[in-house]
Amino acid sequence: MLRLSKLTDYAIVVLARLGQANAAGRVTAVPELALASGLAEPTVAKVLKILAQAGLVEGLRGARGGYRLSRTLECIPLSDVITAFEGPIALTACVDGAAGGCESEGCCPVRGRWDPVNRAIRDALAGVTVAQLANTPPARQCAAAVLNF
Amino acid sequence: MLRLSKLTDYAIVVLARLGQANAAGRVTAVPELALASGLAEPTVAKVLKILAQAGLVEGLRGARGGYRLSRTLECIPLSDVITAFEGPIALTACVDGAAGGCESEGCCPVRGRWDPVNRAIRDALAGVTVAQLANTPPARQCAAAVLNF
DNA sequence: GGAAACAGGACGCCAAAAGTCCTATTTGAG
DNA sequence: CTCAAATAGGACTTTTGGCGTCCTGTTTCC
């Protein structure tokens, strides 16, 4: 439905919470984040693992461990979060170089013409930071194109 | 996955074919469209029914009936097609006035802040016409904002 | 009157998402 | 040195929604 998956949605919320806590220099663990976000612990854990694999957060193992932001929320564009959970941002499967996937590739009247559209969506999502989505008070701004908020 | 549904994808292809045929003043029926599109007849029929309900095409019943475009492809923005098949364009369920859907509504740190993002996506999709996606030779242009193609 | 074609809905299958859980590994504290 | 806390990684089950198909009714031309 042109909707983000729930995990992606959760990720934004979790990142927002992490931003609040980490701004105070603290490291936050899963139980605390789950409580603050109103989500189930296993779900939050799953979200954080994916965020860690994408390099958006840093996991600190061992007792007194937890998670920490790799960059400030101002430096995390929405497109990065979405890509981590949903893969490359493209409205159709037949993106640029993807050949062979479509059976009617030869006669498709829209072949190759989705690329500008996908680029527009990507640009729009790259122009919004997680900080703008969270209620984060304006901290130091990143060098990023900013959407007309 | 931030992907269009297959039906939406088919719809663009079918509209493109309809544009070619209708430019010659003809009315096209389901079997012919299915053949030209390389899709199964029941699928094409389903697509056309939805397009007709959305007012994008006009169904002519009875023998020698078929489908005809309600407007030229230049006047059909991509957003109209997507809305017909996927509902309102919004990345999250908690859009503007939608209250009560989210259980953690009260404490959500991103509450209400998705709206500008959704608007940006909508604008981007409204700026592309089906004619631009199809290989349609440039006909008379509609009064529509056009994406940087 | 009959055939061709759309209108509208209902049904079943399947794939992907979503949520949960288990085990291994790491690390700090006592 | 041992234990507990916490992440890493994967596997598994349930559920949801897309997708394709089909059936019945209605309309219209020949």
For chain A, what is the mean pLDDT? 88
Q: Evaluate if residue A97 carries a pLDDT over 70.
A: no
Does the C-beta of B88 come within 7 A of strand D? no
**Euclidean distance between CA atoms A17 and A74, whole angstroms:** 14
CATH code, domain carrying B126? 1.10.10.10
Query: For the residues A7-36, what does the mean pLDDT come to?
Result: 95
Residue B141 lies in a domain: no
pLDDT tier for residue A35 given thresholds of 50, 70 and 90:
very high
Closest CA to B3 of B63, B85, B64: B85
Using one digit for the tens of pLDDT, what is the confidence trace for A15-27? 999 999 999 999 9
pLDDT tier for residue B97 given thresholds of 50, 70 and 90:
low
Residue A149 lies in a domain: no
Q: Å between B141 CA and C16 C1'?
A: 40
The nucleotides of chain D lying under 7 Å from a protein CB are 4-11, 17-22, 26-30
Reading phi first (left if > 0) and then psi (alpha if -120 to 50, else beta), residue B39 is in beta
What is the bridge-based pairing of β-strands A66-69 and A57-60?
antiparallel
Residue A97 lies in a domain: yes
Write out chain B residues lying below 8 Å of A16, CB-based.
109-110
pLDDT tier for residue B18 given thresholds of 50, 70 and 90:
very high
How many A-B residue pairs are in contact by the CB < 8 A criterion? 116
- Give the model's pLDDT for residue B74: 96
* Stretch 44-73 of chain B: residues touching chain A, C-beta under 8 Å: none
**If 0-12 CB within 10 Å is exposed, 13-18 middle and 19+ buried, where does residue A7 land?**
middle
Domain span holding position A44 = 6-133
pLDDT tier for residue A109 given thresholds of 50, 70 and 90:
confident
B117/A135 CB distance under 8 A: no
- Give the model's pLDDT for residue A9: 96
How close, in Å, is residue A29 to chain B by CA atoms? 19
Residue B66 lies in a domain: yes
Closest CA to B107 of A134, A138, A93, A110: A134
B138: its two tokens: 């440039």
Query: For the residues B97-113, what does the mean pLDDT come to?
Result: 71
Residue A145 lies in a domain: no
Number of domains in chain A: 1
Q: Are B98 and A94 in contact (CB under 8 A)?
A: no
Residue B143 lies in a domain: no
- Which of B55-59, B98-102, B133-137 has the lowest average pLDDT? B98-102
How close, in Å, is residue A149 to chain B by CA atoms? 6
User: Residue B115's CB: how many other CB atoms inside 10 A?
Assistant: 14
Query: For the residues B129-137, what does the mean pLDDT come to?
Result: 85
Residue B43 host element (H or E): helix B41-53
A115: its two tokens: 């690329």
**Euclidean distance between CA atoms A13 and A7, whole angstroms:** 10
Residue A142 lies in a domain: no
Residue A19 lies in a domain: yes
Q: Evaluate if residue B66 carries a pLDDT over 90.
A: yes
Q: Evaluate if residue A96 carries a pLDDT over 60.
A: no
B4/A5 CB distance under 8 A: no
Does the C-beta of A36 come within 7 A of strand D? no
